[in-house]
Structure 1
Amino acid sequence: MVTEPNNWGRFGPDDQRGTLNLLTPEVVLRALGSARTGRVVSLSMPIRDRGVPHLRGRPLPQHFMALDGGDYAAGMRPIGAGLRVADDALVVSHHGTTTHMDALCHMWEGDELYNGHPAARVRSYGATRCGIEQAGGVVARGVLFDVPAHLGLDHLPASYRISASLLEEIHADVLPGDVAVIRTGWPLTWERSPDEYWSGQPGLSADAGRWLAARDVAAVASDNAAIGGLNARQLADEDLADDLHLILLHRHGIHLIEMLWLEELAGVRDFVFVAAPLRIEGGTGSPINPLAIV
Structure 2
Amino acid sequence: MITKNTHPRWEKRPQGSNWGEFGPDDQLGRVNLLQAEQVLKGVKEVTAGRTFCLSLPLNLPGGNALNPRRYPPRLAPTQLKKDHYINFPLATHHPGLLDVISDDEVVLSLQYSSQWDSLAHVGALFDADNDGHAERCYYNGYQAESDIQRLDSPDAHSCASHAARLGIENMAVHGMQGRGVLVDLTRVFGHKRTIIGYTELMHALSELDVSIEVGDMLVLRTGFAEAILQMDGFPDIEQLKQTGAVLDGSDEMLLQWISDSGISAICADNYAVENADRALAPTDCCKLPLHHHCLFKLGLPLAELWYLKPLADWLHANHRSRFLLTAPPLRLPGAIGSPVTPIATV
TM-score (norm 2): 0.75
Change (3 A) 1:109 1:32: same
Indicate yes or no: 2:4 matched with 1:4: no
Task: Give the C-alpha shift of residue 106 in structure 1.
Answer: 0.5
Q: Identify the residue that residue 249 of structure 1 maps to in structure 2.
A: 295
Take 1:80 and 1:138, find their aligned partners in 2: how far apart are those partners? Answer: 48
Change (3 A) 1:32 1:53: farther
Q: Identify the residue that residue 226 of structure 2 maps to in structure 1.
A: 188
Q: Identify the residue that residue 203 of structure 1 maps to in structure 2.
A: 246
Task: Give the C-alpha shift of residue 28 in structure 1.
Answer: 1.4
Question: Percent identity at matched positions?
Answer: 30
What pairs up with 1:90-169 in 2 under 5 angstroms? 90-95=106-111, 97-110=112-125, 111-120=136-145, 121-124=147-150, 125-136=161-172, 137-151=175-189, 153=190, 155-157=191-193, 160-169=194-203
Correspondent of 2:77 among 44, 51, 65: 65
Q: 3-state SS of the aligned residue for 2:333?
A: coil
Task: Give the C-alpha shift of residue 195 in structure 1.
Answer: 3.1
Take 1:13 and 1:255, find their aligned partners in 2: how far apart are those partners? Answer: 19
Mark the structure with the bigger radius of gyration. 2
Q: 3-state SS of the aligned residue for 1:10?
A: coil
Change (3 A) 1:63 1:54: farther
Structure 1's consecutive aligned runs of 4 or more residues displaced over 6 angstroms after TM superposition are none
**Residue type at the aligned position of 2:71:** P
Take 2:64 and 2:280, find their aligned partners in 1: how far apart are those partners? Answer: 23
Segments of structure 2 that go 5 or more residues without pairing to the other structure are 1-11, 79-84, 126-135, 151-160, 316-320
Correspondent of 2:214 among 176, 183, 187: 176
Q: Identify the residue that residue 98 of structure 2 maps to in structure 1.
A: 82
Q: Identify the residue that residue 240 of structure 1 maps to in structure 2.
A: 286
Change (3 A) 1:76 1:242: closer
Q: Identify the residue that residue 345 of structure 2 maps to in structure 1.
A: 293
Correspondent of 1:222 among 257, 268, 282: 268
Take 2:65 and 2:94, find their aligned partners in 1: how far apart are those partners? Answer: 39
Take 1:282 and 1:200, find their aligned partners in 2: how far apart are those partners? Answer: 36
Take 2:114 and 2:65, find their aligned partners in 1: how far apart are those partners? Answer: 10
Greater Cα offset, 141-150 or 56-65: 56-65
Take 1:164 and 1:219, find their aligned partners in 2: how far apart are those partners? Answer: 17
Take 1:226 and 1:49, find their aligned partners in 2: how far apart are those partners? Answer: 15
Q: Is the 8 A contact 1:78 1:84 kept in 2?
A: no
**Residue type at the aligned position of 1:81:** L
Change (3 A) 1:78 1:169: farther
Provide the aligned length of Structure 1 versus Structure 2.
Answer: 287
Task: Give the C-alpha shift of residue 62 in structure 1.
Answer: 1.0
Change (3 A) 1:52 1:291: farther
Take 1:291 and 1:112, find their aligned partners in 2: how far apart are those partners? Answer: 33
Task: Give the C-alpha shift of residue 19 in structure 1.
Answer: 0.7
Q: Is the 8 A contact 1:99 1:288 kept in 2?
A: yes
Task: Give the C-alpha shift of residue 292 in structure 1.
Answer: 0.5
Q: Is the 8 A contact 1:143 1:178 kept in 2?
A: yes
Indicate yes or no: 2:39 matched with 1:28: yes
Change (3 A) 1:284 1:42: same
